[in-house]
Amino acid sequence: MENNTDNNSSNSPLLPFRVGMGYDVHKLVEGRDLILGGIKIDNDRGLLGHSDADVLIHAISDALLGAANMRDIGYHFPDTSDATLNMDSKIILRKVVDLIATKGYMVGNIDATVCAEHPKLNPHIPAMQECLAKVMGCDADAVSIKATTTEHLGFTGREEGISAYAVAMIIRK
């Protein structure tokens, strides 16, 4: 295989699958809804951000974009744009899936972890999986979501914010 330093060159071969990793974090504040995995979760605080601040969707979006070598969500959906102000992150995710499709890829599977001390997220995971699968056009079994705490350590442990990690495999159509 020829070594090509131009990652966006049309001469680069499309691999049958690629993997990307994403991470996001947002601060918890009063007066905002808590949206995670595309669903509203009853909580006294929500996440602060330019959009709806859904850290799970943002991490997944970055993982998908990274797998396709298409930069990150900040590049495609800048937090300085009026068009993205208060945007539903499900719209971002749908557009990301459309973007990776322009390079001949679709979602293979997602493995994500949300780090939060409170609220307990396990009861909400099936609804998140169904929601995200519908947005991405894949089977819910292809969307793994786990929840953990940081054992009261760091900003997450002090309940100052929530973070999420995601790994995505994209496959050639």
Say how far apart CA 88 and CA 127 lie, in whole Å. Answer: 17
Q: Does residue 119 have a cis peptide bond before it, meaning omega lies within 30 degrees of 0? A: yes
80 annotated as ligand-binding: no
152 annotated as ligand-binding: no
74 annotated as ligand-binding: yes
What are phi and psi for residue 32, nearest 5 degrees? -125, 145
Name the H helices within the chain. Answer: 55-67, 73-76, 89-101, 125-136, 154-157
33 annotated as ligand-binding: no
50 annotated as ligand-binding: yes
150 annotated as ligand-binding: yes
172 annotated as ligand-binding: no
158 annotated as ligand-binding: yes
Beta strands 39-41 and 161-172: pairing type? Answer: unpaired
6 annotated as ligand-binding: no
149 annotated as ligand-binding: yes
79 annotated as ligand-binding: no
Say how far apart CA 162 and CA 152 lie, in whole Å. Answer: 12
49 annotated as ligand-binding: no
58 annotated as ligand-binding: yes
Q: Which of 149, 145, 150 is nearest to 120 (CA)?
A: 149
Q: Is 59 strand, coil or helix?
A: helix
In the annotated binding site for a divalent metal cation, the residues are 24, 26, 58
In the annotated binding site, the residues are 24-26, 50-51, 58, 72-74, 148-151, 155, 158
